[in-house]
Structure 1
Amino acid sequence: MTIRDRGNIKWTSLMLPEHVKELRKYIHEEYYDIPEPNVDEQQMDNMNELILEAMEFHFPLRFTLY
């Protein structure tokens, strides 16, 4: 005997359009509205030195792109 589940369809009747709109707005603000950092020339030089050292000594680096 298998149970037929309707997935997300069963939850749509519980959500008002206003709630869906606010949830989408919240997710967008939380994850996508991160301001781009202002990097001056000295910080760029420091990052370049760090990258060069990591390449030379095989250190792992993690980058975040905007």
Structure 2
Amino acid sequence: MVEKLSYRFHSPQRNNLVVVKAPSRLEAQNPHDDLIKRVVGLLGYVVQIRDGQTLINGKVIAEPYV
């Protein structure tokens, strides 16, 4: 079950989970699967992965759930 109403009232924020349609090359493999993704960065952020750590605007972010 996916709630779709919230983003009509506000934009996604960091750490939100979002569900997106799979790109056509993946959808061909399984047309019923959507993708679940976590929002890491927003417009204007610089997101980097270095040595297995995620950096946003040059600062390591804590990801205790990983």
**TM tier, smaller:** under 0.3
Query: Which one has a bigger Cα radius of gyration?
Result: 1
Structure with larger RCO (C-alpha < 8 A, sep 6+)? 2
Q: Which has the higher strand share?
A: 2
TM-score, normalization: structure 1? 0.21
Q: Which has the higher helix share?
A: 1
